[in-house]
Amino acid sequence: MNTLSETIETGPDANLIVPQENEGAFREQQFEDTVGDVTHPNPRISCREVDVYYDHGAVHAIKNVTLDIGTGEVLAMIGPSGCGKSTILRCLNRMNDSIDGCQVSGSIRLDELDIYDKNLDVVLLRAQIGMVFQKPNPFPKSIYDNVAYGPKIHGLAKDKTDLDEIVQTSLERAALWEEVKDRLGQPGTGLSGGQQQRLCIARAIAVSPEVILMDEPCSALDPIATAKVEELIDELRQQYTIAIVTHSMQQAARVSQRTAYFHLGHLVEVNTTDKVFTNPQHHLTEAYITGRFG
């Protein structure tokens, strides 16, 4: 598939250039509605009119975003730095709770469950929605303990053999088992960057979540490690719903079925990945994927 390079070669359109005067009003008017199809016939997570503020309202990071993440799909979130990709992702498992002064309004649901329900147990939610971070962050414990930690605290394993099995299958699914099976007792921090990230993925899937959130999981990895993780994401799709934030459009094109383009806190366009990269509907999307800004 070389659609991407074709787009880049044939893409640019002179009328995309934003006029300098009266820029603010021009932008607001442009963002009114999200272009494309924000819904999914079989949604797992659905966000409706979500607004997120930081610093007790001083920073408006996410503006009126409505978006579905479908069961069994990989949704890629792209957009320039600071557009709010991480923010919306972290809302989905309430990781923003620990940030002082962060306010979320609107509704976010996991199936029928209201994620921002006052009575919702965050611990339970995070057992259902796992997360992989930008920088690999294994615990400074053994490889085994890294993977076993989640099942242990949630009481998922009946006994030691059960736990061993969970650890092994998780590492196998994360395509790491072959590389580490002889040194499970060694510290996870001693692995290479790519291995650490796969270890973090194994750690996330060890608790059998329904959804996995990934925030630029490959940005700290070399191309070979990146390829491995991407391969892995494709396989994980069979069982999990995945939302992935990425800076690399090639990556979005390779791993995702749908792509959401964010700009300054607005969700500008959502479409199938194919469509976004071959035939973007919004001129901002087109400008971004053709490398005009980002």
Binding positions for ligand ADP, rule: CB under 6 A? 54-55, 59, 61, 79, 81-87, 99
Q: Nearest 5°: CA angle at 167, between 162 and 170?
A: 120
CB 189 to another protein: min, Å: 7
Q: Identify the H or E element spanning 252.
A: helix 249-255
Q: Does 208 bind Mg ion (CB under 5 A)?
A: no
**How far is residue 21's CA from residue 9's CA, in Å, rounded to a whole number?**
29
Residue 93 interacting partner from ligand ADP, another protein, Mg ion, none (CB closer than 5 to 8 Å by kind): another protein
**How far is residue 27's CA from residue 160's CA, in Å, rounded to a whole number?**
58
CB 65 to ligand ADP: min, Å: 12
- Chain residues 96-135 in contact with another protein, contact rule CB under 8 A: 98, 100, 123-127, 130-131, 133, 135
Residue 55 interacting partner from Mg ion, another protein, ligand ADP, none (CB closer than 5 to 8 Å by kind): ligand ADP
Residue 130 interacting partner from another protein, Mg ion, ligand ADP, none (CB closer than 5 to 8 Å by kind): another protein
The arrangement of strands across the sheet holding 35-36 comes to 35-36, 266-272, 258-263, 74-78, 241-245, 211-215, 129-132
Is the Cβ–Cβ distance between 218 and 248 less than 8 Å? yes
- Chain residues 235-274 in contact with Mg ion, contact rule CB under 5 A: none
- Chain residues 146-185 in contact with another protein, contact rule CB under 8 A: 149-150, 153-154
Please say which residue, 47 or 132, places its beta carbon nearer to another protein: 132
Question: What type of residue is 199?
Answer: L
CB 31 to ligand ADP: min, Å: 15
The binder of Mg ion chosen from 64, 86, 170, 256 (CB under 5 A): 86
Please say which residue, 83 or 236, places its beta carbon nearer to ligand ADP: 83
Q: What is the DSSP letter of 281?
A: S
Q: What is the DSSP letter of 157?
A: -
Is residue 291 left, alpha or beta, with left meaning phi > 0 and alpha meaning psi from -120 to 50?
left
Please say which residue, 1 or 153, places its beta carbon nearer to another protein: 153
Per rule CB under 5 A, count of chain residues that contact Mg ion: 1
Is the Cβ–Cβ distance between 156 and 171 less than 8 Å? no
